[in-house]
Structure formats: C-alpha cells, structure tokens
Structure 1
Amino acid sequence: MAAYDIVIVGGAIVGSSIAYYLREEGFAGSIALVERDPQFTFSATTLSAASIRQQFSIAENIRLSQFTLGLFRRLKQVFGADADITFRENGYLILASEEGLPVLEANHVAQAAEGADILLERAGDLARRFRWLSPEGIVAGAWGRTGEGWFDAHALLMLFRKALRTRRIDFITAAVAGIDRDGAHVTGVTLDNGERLEAGVVINAAGPNAGKVAALAGLVLPVEPRKRSVFVFEARDRFDDMPLLVDPSGIYVRPEGSVYITGGAEPEDTDGPADPTDFDPDWPLFEEVIWPVLATRIPAFEAIKATRAWAGHYDYNTLDQNAVIGPHPEVENFLFANGFSGHGLQQAPAVGKAVAEFIVHGGYRTADASAFGYERIRDNKPFRELNVI
C-alpha cells in the first residue's frame, strides 16, 4: 500500500495544473496524479471547443480567465522556446436581441471594470465591421478585441504533463473506486485495480465524474455530465476576421483552419445527467436547429457541408453553473476543483494556482477563488454565472 501526501483524482488539465503549481509553490511532499484515461480520448479537456474569453457576467470568472491569458502571453518563458498552443486571438462576438440587451450591457460593465478589452456596438455598426454578418433579430453585440480566442487544448495539456515529468509526480493509471473517510477526514482512496493509496489530502479534479467521486467520500456535489456535440463543416467562403460568434439562441460558430466548427444547440432543461458513456454526436441538432440559425446569421452559410462531429461532456454544476473550488467545510482535507460548466479548460491554470496556494500557504494569494467555495453548495445559495456558453 502506497502513501502520498496528496492524491489528485483526475489527471487532465485541472488535475495537471494543480500538480504543476503545487511544485511551483514549493510543495515538497509526495503527489499522486490518478487518471483513468491516460490518452485523454474521452476527456472533457480534449473534446472541448478549446477557447478562452473574458466575457463573463461576474468579476471572479473574468479574473480566473485573465490569469490563464497571462500564462498564454508568457508561454515560451514558462514552458520553453518550443511551447506553442496555436492561440488565435480573434475574440468572441456575443450577440443580443432586444430582450437580451440589458444582460449584455450589465455584463459589459463588469468586464470593463476588470480591464477587459470588450467593445459594445450596435447591430448596424457590427454589420459594417463584419460584412458577412446579418443583423436580423439583434440590437447589439460585444466583441473582444484582444484577450479572447481559441487554441489547441491537447497541446496545452501536454505542456503541463511534460513539465510534470521532471517534478516528481507519480502518474497512476486507474479509476478511483472508493474513498476512505474517518469522520472529518479522508484517509485514502481505493483504485479499481484493488490497490489502496493512503492520502493526507484528496483533491477532486474528476471533471464530469466529480459528483460521483465526491459521493464516494459521502459528500454531495451537484456536478453531473452534460453532453455537448461539436460539428465541423466546410463552406465556400473564408472569413478570416471571424471571431467566435455566439448567436442569441446560444449557438456558436468559429473558424478552425480551413473549416468551421459549431455547436451550442443543446437545451438547458434536460432530464438529468447524460450517459457518461455516450459520445455519439447528436446529428439532428445540426440539421434541424444549428444550420437554420447559421444561415440566418451568416447568409453565406446557407450552403455548407458538414464533414464530421464529436461529442464530449461538460462537468455541469446544476446549482449555478459555476466552479466549486477549495476545501469541504467539514472534511477539510478533501478539496474540490469541479463544476466549471464549460469554462474549465480556460480557467484550469488559475484554479491550479489557487488550489496550490491554498494548500501551501493556507490561503489564496494570486488567484482568489474564495467566491467559489463549497459553502454555497451546503447553504443552497447560488452564485450564478449568466454567460454560460
């Protein structure tokens, strides 16, 4: 039976970021990073649309993404001269109807207060700026001129994983099947291969599986998998100035090399968690919901050809679509880094830094995650993010 000071459950971008920053903050103890899918074939990290934005409704989310943006700006300095995640800083363009305008304007105020470079324009001005855009049904939009865009998720993950190989981290390929708890403390985890790991601290970074991992310790976490399909299509016209556009319907589209990707048509009022083994794209969403919206918003997309698709899962926080970060108030050596509801990839480095600072220094210093504490889950007091994409 092996013993570790810290066992991190989940080795994708969130878990790897935590392990990385623990060493950066000077933690000298033993760390195990447990991952059931070491090729990350079904990981939320690598199946995401891989983008970063500052267009959130609350300051705390903006700050987390700004930390990651700062890392992107210093990527070669941090990870070496060959570090490259092909960051395309084309921005987000979030459109609003008359009904949605007050929320867009309020969000813009919050973003401006945090120094985000977001331009709020009326529909006619946007149509002149982006000649391919139809202003039908919209009154305004918010465009991130800098600090927003998309990147290679797998490349970012591999930068962290490669860095961990020189930082005395034990990589364990297994799923966690049980968590031992003695009153107010967790004492270890049992793996699906029968091995038991003693643990001084357990960190839940299990993505869409986080709710089940918390339940193994007898704790309630309202995080469940929600399936999201991403579709790839070809179009005759190329719009190199296109940001990641978000229609008032919630459907998004952006360039990806010589093609485009789109998604966002899933209804919010689902009947519960997705089947965690279901990775089949929902093609009817593209044909019946997405395509008509794209053709209306971008007339050149009336004639497009879908070529392929994939599906992944969000770690969806059913309380308020915001992350849960930090210790459980009654089981203080069990920590959460869960429930990002679609913005975990862009916030993972900041969360890694925050959790590492909390463990090493006893509190947050650089990335303050106190607003995302578990207490609001216990008290059923949502801290809601309105800009969930």
Structure 2
Amino acid sequence: MQEKQVIIVGGGVIGSAIAYFLAVHPRFKGSITVIERDASYAQASSALSASSIRQQFSTPVNIAMSQFGISFLRELPQHLGVDGQVPDLGLSEQGYLYLATVSGQQVLRDNHAIQRQHGVDAALLEPHALQARFPWLDTADLALASLGLSGEGWFDGYGLLMAFRHKARSLGVRYISAHAATFIHSGNRVQGIRLEDGSELRCDWAVNAAGAWARPLLADTGFDMPVHGRRRCVFVFSSPAQTPACPLVIDPSGLWFRPEGAYWICGMPPAQDDDDVALDVDYREFDQAWPLLAQRVPGFDALRLQRAWAGYYEYNSFDQNAILGPHPLLPNLLLANGFSGHGLQHSPAVGRGLAEWIADGSYASLDLSPLSVQRLLDGRPLLERNII
C-alpha cells in the first residue's frame, strides 16, 4: 500500500479513536496527524458529558455500535495499555432504566422487540415488578419500564479520551495544537487543511471530527451539515436518600439521573435549544429538575445541589444520529459528526470503521453505511426513538 498522509481535525474521543485504530490497522502505511484546537480539553465534549453507554436503542446500527463499544471497554487494558500502564475507566454496568406512562409504553414495547432481535439483554418490567426491584422509586404514574440487565452503564469519559490519545501518540500519531479554518480542495479531492494562522498542511485523507465546531469547517465544500453545538448541563447533588442498585434512570419527563460515587448527577432537556451558546450553566434547568426528582424518588425531597457543569452536545438536527463516511462531493474527506449524545459510547466502533475505510476502502467489521450522508441528501432520516 502506498503511504498516505492522514489529517484528523479534532482530537477528542472520536478523532483520537480514529487515530488509534488507523495506527494499528495492519494494512495502513503512512502518517497520522491530529489537529486539536483546545489542547487543555477544557471545553471538550468528551470531558464534559455524563459518560454512559447503553444498548437500548431502536436502530440496529446503534445497537451494534454499542455492543462493540462495551466489549472494547471491558477489554480496554489489552487495547490501550502503554508501557505497563493500564487505564482504569471505572466501568460500572448498572444498566439503563427507561420509565413510561400509559402514553409511552407502546414505544418501549416496540423498541424492546427490536432490541431482543439484536441480542440486547434487557427486560420489560410491569409496575409491581419495578416497585419490587427498586422500592425507593415512585411508580404510581408508570405503566411500564425497560431495564438493561447487562452491557449498559457508565465510565470515565475523560479517561477514555486520554487513553486513546496516549496510546495513539505511543504509536507515532502526531498531535498539534492549532485551529483548523477550512479544508483545501480542488475538483473532487481534499488536498489539505488551512489553519487560522494561514499555514497549510497537505494530506491524502482528511477527517472532520471537530465535534461542535464541525459545521463551519465545511462552509465552502458544498455541503451544509445540519450539526450544531448545543449546551447540556449536568448537576451534581447530594441527598440522605438510599437508592441501592440504582441504574441510569430516564423519566418520562425527560429528566435523567444516576449515582456518581456518594452523590448523584442529573440533567434535563432544555426548554429551548439554542445553537452555539456559551458554556455557562443554566440553573433554571435544575429548578425544573428538583420537583421531578423528588416526585420520582421521594427520598430526594431533601437533596442539595453541590456543583454543576455544562458541555456541548453535537446535535444533528436532521435525525439525531451520527453522520459517518465520505463527504458527498469530496470522497477523501470523511465525516464523523452529529452524534447527538452518542459519541463516547460509539467512539470505538466509529474509530474502527473509519480506519477500515481509509485502509481498505470499505467497512469490514461493521457496516456503518446506514449512517452515511446519503440519507440526508435523499431526505430519508434514520429515526432513533430512544433519544435522551
């Protein structure tokens, strides 16, 4: 294979996963450079998310990506260890618990049927069984719940990012701190990256993995990608309540919460989504979450807010699913964008898939073509009904 120069714009978990899988691919020869605008990762979505993984999706490709993701996380030391240093992400497989009222129970049943067809270890619980399993939960208004029994939970997202990055660098991947401005292209080929300081880097392949900053990079490429940086707030609270075996709970209201050490964390979908807002915590969201928390878990009526943070949610406004694979007009520019909250858990599958595309010209391990840009061009959304 002729040696190739690959430039990945974005050194977060997606970009670093692609760099790692490409560096270990047996048929790739060449150089890999990762351009990261925020060397401190202070605003990186990978570091500011709730860092969870689930298989309870409604689309087979998302299920399969999560199944590979959990197997990769379980075997992380053998993949990402460097010089005897083994990363520990504190993986906790306590499951996801989706709660539904009468109006939402059929969606849970339909999703469960798809999940079972694709090997997801989940169970539907009627209210009495739900109450028996989680006696600290108020089930009075619920009609059904879906609980992941294995292969779901949470982990250290920043730790995964750093593990991918550290391993990639040990394999010869070069990371540079710079702001990418645009892709240089001629005809139907990308030729390089222009940085904000005016300098240029040449390449044979380019990857847009710039997260919340991905859309502006494509401004002059003929494709207006419907991906926006949207703020999501995470709140940490304490309570004298006891919630043994607590999974990540998704309330019918949209509220979610889960344990985090001696505390709990939670979040709410904002009343209005605005694009590219500053990463300032909107405490009005917690004002909305508090009564919902106390209603769902009576012991939370005495909770106390400890701290909070905000991170960008790379939102695909077309269908809330990832956009993966070649740019529609520039086939040597690969897109890895619009994960809408799925990026951390799907980063191993995305990294492996796009590395295969560069090295082999196609997906080999898992067909990611349902997530290609073609569905946007055709006006054919891939609707995921289990969006948080």
The amino acid that maps onto 1:284 is: R
Aligned counterpart, 1:143 = 147
The amino acid that maps onto 1:76 is: P
Aligned counterpart, 2:276 = 274
Aligned counterpart, 2:180 = 176
Offset at residue 358 of structure 1 (A): 1.1
Aligned counterpart, 1:284 = 284
| SS class of match (2:130) | helix
Bigger shift: residues 19-28 or 313-322: 19-28
CA distance in 1, matches of 2:316, 2:267: 20
| SS class of match (1:146) | coil
Identity %: 42
Pair 1:74-2:78 in alignment: no
Offset at residue 181 of structure 1 (A): 1.5
CA distance in 2, matches of 1:160, 1:65: 17
Aligned counterpart, 1:111 = 115
Q: Which runs of 5+ in 2 are unaligned?
A: none
Shift of the 34–4 alpha-carbon distance from structure 1 to 2, 3 Å rule, reads farther
Aligned counterpart, 2:213 = 209
Aligned counterpart, 1:349 = 348
CA distance in 2, matches of 1:216, 1:248: 41
Residues 50 and 150, structure 1, Cα contact 8 Å, conserved in 2: yes
- The Cα offsets for residues 178-227 of structure 1, whole Å up to 9 and x where unpaired, read as 22111211111111232210121111101111111222434221100111
CA distance in 2, matches of 1:334, 1:313: 24
Aligned counterpart, 1:252 = 256
Q: How does 1:1-389 map to 2 (within 5 A)?
A: 5-26=5-26, 27-80=28-81, 82-267=86-271, 270=273, 272-275=274-277, 278-287=278-287, 289-389=288-388
| SS class of match (2:233) | strand
Residues 67 and 367, structure 1, Cα contact 8 Å, conserved in 2: no
CA distance in 2, matches of 1:282, 1:130: 31
CA distance in 1, matches of 2:252, 2:222: 40
- The Cα offsets for residues 58-94 of structure 1, whole Å up to 9 and x where unpaired, read as 1110000111101012112222362210001110001
Residues 186 and 202, structure 1, Cα contact 8 Å, conserved in 2: yes
The amino acid that maps onto 1:157 is: L
The amino acid that maps onto 1:273 is: D
CA distance in 2, matches of 1:24, 1:122: 47
CA distance in 2, matches of 1:136, 1:11: 46
Runs of 4+ in 1 over 3 A off after TM superposition: none
Offset at residue 107 of structure 1 (A): 0.7
Q: CA RMSD in A?
A: 1.4
* TM-score normalised over the length of structure 1: 0.95
Offset at residue 237 of structure 1 (A): 2.1
Offset at residue 4 of structure 1 (A): 6.9
| SS class of match (1:186) | strand
CA distance in 2, matches of 1:66, 1:244: 18
- The Cα offsets for residues 122-180 of structure 1, whole Å up to 9 and x where unpaired, read as 11210111010001221011111111000001111111111112212111101111221
- The Cα offsets for residues 232-268 of structure 1, whole Å up to 9 and x where unpaired, read as 000012323100000011110000001100002313x
The amino acid that maps onto 2:348 is: P
CA distance in 2, matches of 1:33, 1:367: 24
| SS class of match (1:384) | coil
| SS class of match (2:46) | coil
Q: Which runs of 5+ in 1 are unaligned?
A: none
The amino acid that maps onto 2:59 is: I
- The Cα offsets for residues 363-383 of structure 1, whole Å up to 9 and x where unpaired, read as 111122110001111222111
The amino acid that maps onto 1:29 is: G
CA distance in 1, matches of 2:289, 2:279: 19
Bigger shift: residues 74-83 or 217-226: 74-83
| SS class of match (1:45) | helix
CA distance in 1, matches of 2:23, 2:380: 34
Residues 321 and 338, structure 2, Cα contact 8 Å, conserved in 1: yes
| SS class of match (1:99) | helix
| SS class of match (2:348) | helix
CA distance in 2, matches of 1:63, 1:260: 29
Residues 182 and 218, structure 2, Cα contact 8 Å, conserved in 1: no
